[in-house]
A and B are shown apart, each in its own frame.
Chain A
Amino acid sequence: MIRFEKVSKIYGQGEARTAALDDASFEVESGSFVVVLGPSGAGKSTLLNLLGGMDDATAGAILVGSLDICTLNEKQLTRFRAESVGFIFQFYNLIPTLTVLENVELMRMVKRSCLPAAEVLDQVGLGGHLGKFPSQLSGGEQQRVSIARAIAKRPELLLCDEPTGALDSDTGVHILKLLQDIARTHKTTVVIVTHNAAIAEAADVVIRVRDGHIESTTREPAPCDITEVRW
């Protein structure tokens, strides 16, 4: 279970003061496939960053399971990110000087109980590219590496900020499919931030954000498969 309780994030002071998130509250169940929707500047990334322990909330509580991550100190937050969170970035953020395999293996340095890198890469369909460097892969392939890197840790929480933002729609669908499968098979809570409202049809939970406020939280009892979504 993930719960935001009256979470606020204020940037700047005085005139420059911006409330990126204002009194945001919502709750989703573990293992859900969550889509966060909203226009640009609404506060989606802010929400995700707070959830991932990359940024401190100005007020409120963020519960992941029974843990309130707003009360954690720097060291505990690092551990939280290392143990419980997987990140997938819009621009992949792979280490360019490490091979595909090494990029995934690197996670052993933060969590001992990682899945074998080659196995995970095989799962995401990259078994044949282990020795390549990121610059030798297509964008979609790079994003798969990034997914492999995130799921190798078997995180409770998989956070994706516009994972398909830099990809064409076909490739994007494949990536999203992969993420949905992960949520279903691994019982991992997957949170995807996107501009693309169409994806909402495939989500268990859709959170709409506008101007820092949670506009609505809708649950879809029978979400369709990503591949059936009409674009």
Chain B
Amino acid sequence: MILLRKMGRDLLGHKAQFLSLFLISLLAVGFYTGITAEYRGMELSGRDFFEETNLATLWVFGEDFTEDELEAVAALEDVEQVERLLLYETQARLPDAPALTVRYREGDEINRLLVWEGAAFVPDDERIWLDLRFAEARGLTVGDSLSFTVAGTSVDAQIAGLVYSPELVYPELGDSLSPDYGAHGHVFTGIGNLPQPDAAALAEAAATLSATTATQGDATQAAGTEGAALGSRGFQPPFNQLVVYAPAAIEHQYSLEEDVEGVLGSRAATILVQENHPTASTLWAECEQHAIFANAFPVLFMFIAVLVMLSTMSRLVSKQATLIGTMKALGVQRGAIAAHYVGYGFLIMLAGGLLGAALGPPFVPELFKPSITRFFTLPYWQTYREPFFFILPFVIALAGALVSWLSSRRILAQAPAEAMRPRAPREARHSPLEALPFWKRLSPSLQLTERDMRRNKLRSVMSVVSSMGVSALLLVAFLSWSIMDEMVSWQYSTINNFASRATLAEDGDAGELRRLTERYEALPLMEQAIEIRLPASPASKVTGTLQAFESTGPEGGEAAGNGSEAGEAENEALLRVTDPERRIRSLEDDQVLMSYGVARNLGLGVGERFEWHRYGEGGWHEATVDAINRNPLVWGLTMTPDTLEGFGIDFEPTALLSARMIAADEAGVQSVVSAEEISAGMDLMLEAMVMMASVMIAVAVLISIFTLYNLSTLTFSEMERELATLKVVGFKRRQIVMLLFAQNLILSVLGFIPGIPLGWKIADLMFNAQGGTLDMATLLIPSDVLLTLAVVWGLCAVVALLFIRKVARLDMVGSLKAPE
């Protein structure tokens, strides 16, 4: 009882230290549990949704899939179910003619639809189901009708339900890079509703559909049906997709892919495995990125918390050595005294940790919700909790208690008489540093600082570790900001140099193209989804984009990118190519440029051979890497139209770039976006990361202030007598504060040094966790390193300011009395 009361008084006496210990514990646990709850919740939501709706294991693109083929695939080992469907791309008859992907389905066993409103999906209903986000964006609801044209036949269908589809968790970002849910709708309906009268026209229309890139979003793909074989028994829908559900094969998707290839041969133009489908891969990549945050930093914080505990406790115990000795002399059991001290550490850290575990999971995820839900569409957002969240505070508190016990053990082990004797001042020792020629010329205050740091190794180590963590955290945050900025300026002022980009209509003709090109002095650009692999090595396959365009007009070829001679022509180029160092380089005929990310992924260098083909193309083209280029958004190959034609592929532009604003209502133009819209979209895309960076900075600053304050308080109370003496002999307040400050500055720098590579490593992990959608060059930007140092020092200064008052209140008269 008495001990308990004493404990209470001790807590009050050291309230600043205990408060900061409490807060560090709270922050560490809150940050960890909050972000873990956030990403695990997202992971769980995705997993549940995919499971509930039987997300396909494989998507096979091709043409005219037959019943026999379906059965052959269904007979493969592990395959539970196969469905055929026909994807048809058209436009809705709505303002701005939004794109519409119609999925004519045979059933609803794979990629099932989750109905949000309306009736459940039935394949032989003549109505349609519409994806919820398009419906919301367009103000459509159940019972409304939607009109579009399929193969020349006008369809006017009633909406039976609004749905979530597991294939649409991540949207197709389109040209502006930001999700525009109103610009692309998805219709689901039974295959029986496919207009039949003019099958030939349908076949032709399907053949002109371009492949939507798998890497940029929706993996929808419509393949042609040249000379669709119409059976004598009547109309055979030209199915162009097979979805395969084989949950048992989820761990070996690629071997299943090979099996399917074995059955279908060249009939399978392209196979997409689940882990490469953006609906899954983007979600998992986002989770992975958050996981890196959740795991890297809190571990560090908890370590810091335990260290803070250790130094606070050992200070407290040694300060009370006399009292402890007295208690022992009075016959208090050693166990009781030990329990008393261990109790401090345990209770404080436990309280902070439990509060963190209680507050983190409900609040932290809310910070991320707005930006996450803008990009990811899930029918539900699970909250994630695990018992470990509440076990963790106990673990930390036990660690804190353990170190408190270790630190008090030595003193408790002493004989009562010994413990009661006044503590001899700790011995100072000469350091090897003193052998240095300039040591004698150092100011005595530096010498004092150096010795004090060595005398209190524990405290110094702790400051260094905490500064390391804080520096790493700040660096990651600053790097995220500036790398994002850099990326935006790299993409939108170095690479892109156009004011608008028009996506060409699928059915545009050559005449229109020529007219538009001249009218707007535009650059025709062809972009197409491709696959790239090492020669004859199916397992190495990566997906990417082919970009083909004429580099800088007639003299562009000579205007090589090394520096200023690149000259006017280069500056006028609407679209430029940059090398891995992000300098502008040339694009010459007969050159195949491979993007940095792909080359790294495949382990390819200049001069090495590889194979590539367009999505849906049967064979492979052989090629050599002539140069490596780098682009934050485009993974794949870049070449001129001539080079492309050298591969036997026609140059068919899909977009036009112009220095002027292309009118959206031009014939042959499907949609137009301005450069501003594109870069604004990019900013949105990076919002989650900005959020993360801000959270990190806030946490780093708080942790840093708490630990520095705590450490300074320790230093201050340990040196109180000496500082008071200095004050008596005439040291100015500023000089005394500087003594404390110098120590923090030096220790901070010692932590800052290893903190930089650590932060850089973490940043690199994080940016690469983007899952291959972005190639973010993780540069160690000197200004960010300096900024980090400035903030670290700035925080030292802030804490120093907090001590000015304490120094002013130093009791000079007291310092003359006997040492405690």
Contacts and interface: CB of A to CB of B under 8 A. Distances in A.
A52 to B, nearest CB: 7
Nearest to B424: A135
Interface in B305-323: none
Contact of B427 (A99, A135, A161): A135
B447 interface: yes
Interface in A104-142: 105-111, 131, 133-135
A174 interface: no
Contact of B729 (A45, A87, A102, A105): A87
A135 B425 contact: yes
Contact of A107 (B452, B729, B733, B819): B729
A95 B730 contact: no
A108 B732 CA distance: 13
Given A93-B725, A109-B735, A149-B729, A54 B425 contact: no
Contact of A161 (B426, B812, B816): B816
* Residue of A79, A93, A99, A108 with highest tally of chain B CB at under 10 A: A93
Contacts of A210: none
* Residue of B428, B444, B730 with highest tally of chain A CB at under 10 A: B730
Contact of A82 (B428, B451, B729, B808): B729
A153 B728 CA distance: 13
Interface residues on A, range: 35 or more
B694 interface: no
B725 A54 contact: no
B233 interface: no
A97 B812 contact: no
A133 B427 contact: yes
A196 interface: no
Given A78-B732, A79-B730, A135-B425, A93 B448 contact: no
B4 interface: no
B433 interface: no
B493 to A, nearest CB: 54
A21 to B, nearest CB: 13
Contacts of A55: 812-813
A6 B707 CA distance: 49
Interface string B714-752: 000000011001111111110100000000000000000
* Residue of A52, A75, A96, A108 with highest tally of chain B CB at under 10 A: A96
Contacts of B817: 91
A81 interface: yes
A106 B728 contact: no
A96 B451 CA distance: 10
Nearest to A162: B816
B738 to A, nearest CB: 10
B232 interface: no
Given A78-B732, A110-B731, A131-B430, A91 B445 contact: no
A96 to B, nearest CB: 4
Chain B at the A interface: SS class: helix
B485 to A, nearest CB: 46
B768 interface: no
A110 B451 contact: no
Contact of B813 (A49, A102, A107, A109): A49
Contacts of A211: none
A97 B452 contact: yes
* Residue of A74, A90, A97, A135 with highest tally of chain B CB at under 10 A: A97
B564 interface: no
A54 B730 contact: no
Contact of A110 (B424, B452, B722, B730): B730
B427 A83 contact: no
A112 to B, nearest CB: 12
Contact of A96 (B722, B727, B732, B812): B722
A54 B451 CA distance: 28
A91 B818 contact: yes
A150 B730 CA distance: 11
Given A102-B444, A102-B447, A109-B735, A96 B428 contact: yes
Contacts of B730: 78-79, 81-83, 85, 110-111, 153
A211 B426 CA distance: 39
A98 interface: yes
Nearest to B808: A74
A189 to B, nearest CB: 17
Contacts of A90: 816, 818
Nearest to A98: B448
B455 interface: yes
B816 A98 contact: no
A139 to B, nearest CB: 13
A89 B455 contact: no
Interface in B775-815: 808, 812-813, 815
Among all A-B residue pairs, the 7 with the closest Cβ atoms = A82-B730, A97-B451, A110-B730, A81-B730, A93-B725, A96-B425, A97-B428
Interface of A: 45, 49, 52, 54-55, 74-75, 78-79, 81-83, 85, 87, 89-91, 93, 95-99, 102, 105-111, 131, 133-135, 149-150, 153, 161
13 contacts: A49-B812, A55-B812, A78-B732, A81-B728, A82-B730, A89-B815, A90-B816, A93-B721, A93-B815, A96-B426, A97-B448, A102-B447, A106-B445
